[in-house]
Amino acid sequence: ARVKTLDEIMRRSDVTIAEKYRRVIEAYEIETDYGRTIQTYVGELIIDGEMREVNFLKLGRIALFAQSTNMEISLLWNFSKRDWSKIDKRADKNELRKGIRIALKEIPPSLITIPIKTALGSKGE
């Protein structure tokens, strides 16, 4: 909706160049803020036919992950398949837990290495 409104404003001759510029910068700042967010929340997800409580981890608009509270099951949302994919590597599961702890402010921010490319699809879609 924001892009559509911005497009409409750009086509109007009664809107000043300064206002058009302000609107572009405002949209850019909003989108940049989305890219820098890290959020976590608790919810439920059906995994292997069973309802489980999970911690979701959302990294801006880049990736969405879920991890069972016992860390036994870790998942990532595959955008191209529109379904969850399992994360099997122990190191990736640990990094996901680290990301959740960072989002909860239990530990200070630091670099996390989790399979974002996989979350975007096998072809980087």
With beta carbons less than 8 A apart as the criterion, state whether 44 and 54 touch: yes
59-93 pLDDT, tens per residue?
988 889 999 988 899 999 988 888 999 999 999 99
| 3 state SS of 51 | strand
Residue 22: how many other CB atoms lie within 10 Å = 12
49-62 pLDDT, tens per residue?
999 999 999 998 88
Q: Say how far apart CA 24 and CA 12 lie, in whole Å.
A: 14
Query: How far from the centroid of its chain's Cα atoms is residue 118's Cα?
Result: 13
